[in-house]
Structure 1
């Protein structure tokens, strides 16, 4: 049976000063590395398939006016995957099919671009756009199959500062720093950061409303870590915020990682 766990955590953000301090943003080594796959691909993709089929309204959302950015994101992802030998393309064009690395055939439906992307890659994909005259980028469209204690319906259409209202370290100064990152993001230089939180359960689909208490981490045995990438789309200037989620048993971290995590405390 395919599972959603990872057998190791390739990058532990709490182990280096550059990635430990907030916001901990670094240049991405390779442009297309934001669409990485790993040993949990099959299990995570099977869950994504079920969520898109059974909870589509909870995991996919768009705002009016986001169509052009969604179109460009779709083309960007398909172009990136087209050069990878482990994806097989059939029938040609944008209305053919693609066989994923786990053998599942995905129809390429240009009338359901976010739904198609949700079933092609492990990453959740959020589109952030800055309306003319606005001070902040706004979440205008998203595929969010693996929310880490937040709910897409509460965040869609909201600006960065409002999205991060419940996040304690995200104060006014942090909001300014993050907005500068979005404003100055270059087309050819994606950026990445990574977080880490301890959970009691390994549930990838873990929504939570803003005002609900987080009571799922005391005594938890799982580390949930998101590698988040910021990438600028050339034509629409929208920013893609992608999320690659790792779930690792604490016992599967290296001894050095466990020791470092203990020093930093939960929520490194």
Structure 2
């Protein structure tokens, strides 16, 4: 690939570092830049890009139709304020030309010129915002936001706004313990990865932030592949069977989540951010190192993991498609 990569490729978090994949914690300090064949990613805690307004509009539509995607258990109210201020500070630091947070003590002014927002508020006073604090800030970041409460050495999913889930239901998971939430993932408990991840998270100190990636294969360009909307996106898997060669490349996507874990400074809760990126096979194969590596990883992945990652029935065709479409 020559020249400057388009934004969708230059900042895409390609997840594979070797020709095989198994579950691992793959944690790195937040803000650590990752060079790729097309550019770089990873230097930002929250990432605002060209899809900002479109994705936020989609989130608002989803929440209006299904308010259960937003939930806050009563004891998490202070953590919601903490998360809102933490994310606002990150946005203002990263995008000072369009966003700012000014104030002292409990009284603050938030400005988001990208959305035409100027909001004065008082910390702890829900009536000073047009929405609950977590919902308010979730309307201004492309990431899904989950808050984990720590009780002893256990973590609990006790608040969040999740509109772009991949084959899971936030509404079902609210109140569940961290290990329970990850129960359906094959090989995860046996490998010890999820227990090590839990132990790492509970040791995070206030203000510390780490990052990891997760991935799957998706049929169709849909951010919202939650279980609540399974009847809408499941047919895309069947459509792939009959798709011609060009349509198949446009339909099948590599779906990557960049996940941040932040120990909030005031409440001590864990803020878990999930930012989702989609890249069609048609675009992926324009980057030769990615094409070769993706084909190798998908071909080698054990069947149970391929099934969980959403592509087992189409594995052979995806791998063949990637191998055939080189040199574009």
* TM-score > 0.5, shorter chain as reference: yes
Please give the secondary structure, in 1, of the residue aligned with 2:74.
Answer: coil
Distance 2:50 2:137 in 1: 19
Matched, 1:236 2:256: no
Q: Work out which of the residue numbers 27, 36, 42 in structure 1 matches 2:29.
A: 27
Which residue of structure 2 lines up, in the alignment, with residue 170 of structure 1?
A: 188
Counterparts of residues 13-162 of structure 1 (less than 5 Å): 13-16=15-18, 21-29=23-31, 33-52=44-63, 54-83=64-93, 84-88=95-99, 98-101=111-114, 103-105=115-117, 109=129, 112-131=132-151, 133=152, 135-162=153-180
Which residue number corresponds to residue 3 of structure 1?
none
In the alignment, the residues of structure 1 paired with residue 15 and residue 270 of structure 2 have an alpha-carbon distance, to the nearest angstrom, of 23
Q: CA distance change for structure 1 residues 10 and 203 in 2, over 3 Å: closer, same or farther? A: closer
Q: In the aligned structure 2, how far is the partner of 1:18 from the partner of 1:181?
A: 25
Structure 2 residue runs of 5 or longer lacking an equivalent are 1-6, 33-41, 121-128, 241-250, 299-305, 311-328
Kindly provide the CA deviation profile for residues 140-198 of structure 1, in whole angstroms up to 9, marking residues without a partner as x: 10010211111111101001111111111321522321111111223344111111211
Kindly tell me: are residues 96 and 189 of structure 1, through their superposed partners in 2, closer, same or farther at Cα, counting changes over 3 Å? Answer: closer
**Structure 1 pair 107–142 and aligned structure 2 pair: CA distance change class (3 A):** same
**Structure with greater helix percent:** 2
CA distance in structure 1 between the aligned counterparts of 2:101 and 2:258, rounded to whole angstroms:
31
Q: Distance in 2 between matches of 1:160 and 1:192?
A: 17
Task: Please tell me whether the aligned partners of residues 19 and 25 of structure 1 are also in contact (alpha carbons under 8 angstroms).
Answer: no
Query: Structure 2 vs 1, CA of residues 96 and 234 (structure 1 numbering), >3 Å: closer, same or farther?
Result: closer
In structure 1, stretches of 5+ residues that fail to align are 1-5
Query: Secondary structure, in 3 states, of the residue corresponding to 1:39?
Result: coil
SS at match of 2:261: strand
Task: Give the Cα separation in 1 of the matches to 2:83 and 2:20.
Answer: 29
CA distance in 1, matches of 2:21, 2:206: 22
Superposed CA RMSD in Å reads 3.2
SS at structure 2 position matched to 1:199:
strand
- Measure how far apart 1:235 and its partner are: 1.9
2-structure distance, mates of 1:71, 1:19 = 38
Q: How many residue pairs align between the two structures?
A: 258
1:137 alignment partner, SS class: strand
The structure, 1 or 2, with the larger RCO (C-alpha pairs under 8 Å, 6+ apart) is 1
Give TM-score scaled by structure 2 length.
0.68
Query: How far has the Cα of 1:104 moved from its partner?
Result: 4.5
Give the drift of 1:202: 1.3
- Greater CA drift, 157-166 or 180-189: 180-189
Match of 2:198 in 1: 179
> Deviation string for 1:201-242 (max 9, x for gaps)?
111112116x99x78557451121100011111222111110
Which of 274, 277, 280 does residue 249 from structure 1 map onto?
A: 280
